[in-house]
Amino acid sequence: MADDEEHAGAETRIAAIFAMIREHDASDETAMSDAQVAAAISALIAAAAAHGTTTTITGIVGSILDDYDEFRKLGSGSAGVVTKARHRATGKTVALKSLHGYSGGTVRDLLREACFMVGCPAHPSLVTLHGMARTESTNDYCLVMDYVDGPTLHDCIRMGHRRRPFPEAHARRVMRQLLSAAAHMHQHGVIHRDIKPENILVDDDHRVVKICDFGSALYCTHDAEECYYAAGTRPYSAPEMLLEKPGGYDALVDTWSLGCVMAELLTGEVLFDGGCDSDTLYEIFDLLGVPGKRAWKPYEASFVAHKVPLWRREQQRRRRHCNRLGELFPEELLSRDGFQVLKGLLTCDPSKRLPAAAALQLPWFAAHDDSCEASFGSS
């Protein structure tokens, strides 16, 4: 009961921040005032306290220039850049995420991302938020987060120009952690919407993975209108997201993404790599089967509606079995139990797709993988 009350208290405070952001978006003001930002950060601190994680959120930690030594850029994307830094007073090494000036992002975007991170209280496979900091000279803000001393999962798979598939036992250890993190997010109403190897950090000894970058995330309860639009990265996007499903999509878009990650771990190759949404959908349906007329009915007004009957007839002409996933993942590559997980995640119909928590209950995850305890990324 106490945990439920704490969760409800945190949700109330996070909802207040979203309401503040929406109210500001509806106004003619171009930037949030210092007072508005301070109020939002105070609400974040209170939400963290309600979750019992007061030690991980400290509000405005201080001026980046005065309080941090920045070492090197860790990575960058279309919206922001992440830098390794050290907090001088505590000696703690952290990662700082700031926004590109040309991206159009504002402190509101950082506050939204902070909400998602606070809304998913500490999980070992999710990057933790420690606070927000600002520069005194420009009044720009950044997120202060866990620093993970290792590569991304993409780097581990690729190893330069050489693809590097993971053995099944190693893939299972990674997927157990990722599905646990996804189940935790979904339990707290957060949909990540951009799970991919580039957004999965691997610690230096290759034992722990952490999902990062909540910049595309949404809350089912506060962002219902956004559940109709595509987001994230195309090769890892679920069909219902690419098709902008009428009525919206839900957290099962994340489990589809995890299915794509699992396939990539085992083969070293991106499973669906179409150059546009239409090409990607064709690749999905070519491998997993074109939906039947009843399953396709909700999408009859979609941008590929005129192509689907042609794809269906072409598939019927070429072969008897529409789903060819088993051809790509024979038992020499993936056990029957492992294939049960993969097939459950990569199911086009979201009503039949495995939720993260349910996937973790399947027999494949009964193994402890003690033989690869030292490192799942080593040769």
What CATH number has the domain bearing residue 194? 1.10.510.10
Q: Decide: residue 98, CB within 10 A, 0-12 exposed, 13-18 middle, 19+ buried.
A: buried
| pLDDT single digits (tens) 156-200 | 998 755 678 999 999 999 999 999 999 999 998 899 999 999 999
| pLDDT single digits (tens) 337-374 | 999 999 999 999 999 999 999 999 999 999 766 555 55
- What confidence tier does 55 reach under pLDDT thresholds 50, 70, 90? very low
Q: In the chain, helix, strand, coil percent, each to 5?
A: 45, 15, 40
Same domain for 121 and 206, yes or no, is no
Rounded Cα distance, 325 and 316, in Å: 16
Among 146, 180, 201, the domain-final residue is: 146
Above 80 in pLDDT, residue 4? no
Classified as helix, coil or strand, 61 is strand
Above 90 in pLDDT, residue 107? no
Same domain for 170 and 313, yes or no, is yes
Q: 322 vs 195, 235, 288, 293, 336, CA distance in Å? A: 27, 21, 6, 14, 19
What per-residue confidence (pLDDT) applies to 61? Answer: 44
Same domain for 60 and 162, yes or no, is no
Are 116 and 44 in contact, with CB atoms under 8 Å apart? Answer: no
Total domain count for the chain? 2
The counts of H helices and E strands in the chain are: 14, 10
What per-residue confidence (pLDDT) applies to 160? Answer: 59
Among 103, 128, 146, the domain-final residue is: 146
Q: Is residue 296 part of a domain?
A: yes
Same domain for 70 and 173, yes or no, is no
Are 197 and 270 in contact, with CB atoms under 8 Å apart? Answer: no
- Mean pLDDT for the stretch of residues 243-267: 93
Q: Is residue 322 part of a domain?
A: yes
Same domain for 64 and 168, yes or no, is no
Q: CA 142, 48, 67: angle at the middle one, nearest 5?
A: 35
Q: Which two tokens stand for residue 329?
A: 């993942």
| Amino acid, single-letter form, for residue 154 | H
Beta bridge partners of 75: 82
- Mean pLDDT for the stretch of residues 146-154: 91
Q: Which two tokens stand for residue 155?
A: 């780097």
Among 98, 114, 146, the domain-final residue is: 146
Which carries the bigger pLDDT value, residue 364 or residue 215? 364
Q: What DSSP character marks residue 93?
A: E
Nearest CA among 119, 144, 123 for reference residue 14 = 119
| Amino acid, single-letter form, for residue 213 | D
- What confidence tier does 263 reach under pLDDT thresholds 50, 70, 90? very high
What per-residue confidence (pLDDT) applies to 228? Answer: 64
Q: What is the pTM of this model?
A: 0.88
| pLDDT single digits (tens) 309-333 | 888 888 888 765 678 999 999 999 9
Same domain for 99 and 238, yes or no, is no
Same domain for 211 and 272, yes or no, is yes
What per-residue confidence (pLDDT) applies to 315? Answer: 85
Rounded Cα distance, 115 and 12, in Å: 12
Above 70 in pLDDT, residue 201? yes
Q: What is the CATH number of the domain that holds 98?
A: 3.30.200.20
Q: Which two tokens stand for residue 30?
A: 């171009």
| Amino acid, single-letter form, for residue 377 | G
- Mean pLDDT for the stretch of residues 200-211: 90
Which carries the bigger pLDDT value, residue 369 or residue 251? 251
| Amino acid, single-letter form, for residue 365 | F
| Active-site annotation holds for 149 | no
Rounded Cα distance, 300 and 307, in Å: 11
- What confidence tier does 232 reach under pLDDT thresholds 50, 70, 90? confident
Q: Is residue 58 part of a domain?
A: yes
Average the pLDDT over each of 125-134, 215-224, 229-238, 328-337 and give the range with the smallest value: 215-224
Q: Is residue 377 part of a domain?
A: no
- What confidence tier does 134 reach under pLDDT thresholds 50, 70, 90? confident
Q: Is residue 379 part of a domain?
A: no
Calculate the CA dihedral of residues 152, 154, 160, 163 and round it to 10 degrees.
140
Same domain for 50 and 158, yes or no, is no
Are 32 and 108 in contact, with CB atoms under 8 Å apart? Answer: yes
* Backbone angles phi and psi of 26, in degrees to 5: -80, -10
What per-residue confidence (pLDDT) applies to 293? Answer: 84
Are 126 and 56 in contact, with CB atoms under 8 Å apart? Answer: no
Rounded Cα distance, 196 and 200, in Å: 7
Same domain for 165 and 140, yes or no, is no
Domain that holds residue 11: 2-146
Same domain for 91 and 110, yes or no, is yes
* Backbone angles phi and psi of 189, in degrees to 5: 80, 15
| Residue of 67, 194, 273, 337 with catalytic role | 194
Mean pLDDT, the chain, integer? 82
Classified as helix, coil or strand, 326 is helix
Q: Is residue 378 part of a domain?
A: no
What per-residue confidence (pLDDT) applies to 78? Answer: 66
Above 80 in pLDDT, residue 267? yes
Same domain for 319 and 232, yes or no, is yes
Q: Is residue 226 part of a domain?
A: yes
What per-residue confidence (pLDDT) applies to 370? Answer: 52
Q: Which two tokens stand for residue 341?
A: 């997980």
Same domain for 269 and 343, yes or no, is yes
Task: Identify each DSSP E strand in the chain by its residue range.
Answer: 60-63, 68-76, 80-87, 93-99, 129-134, 141-146, 190-191, 200-202, 209-211, 218-219
- What confidence tier does 222 reach under pLDDT thresholds 50, 70, 90? low
- Mean pLDDT for the stretch of residues 45-51: 66
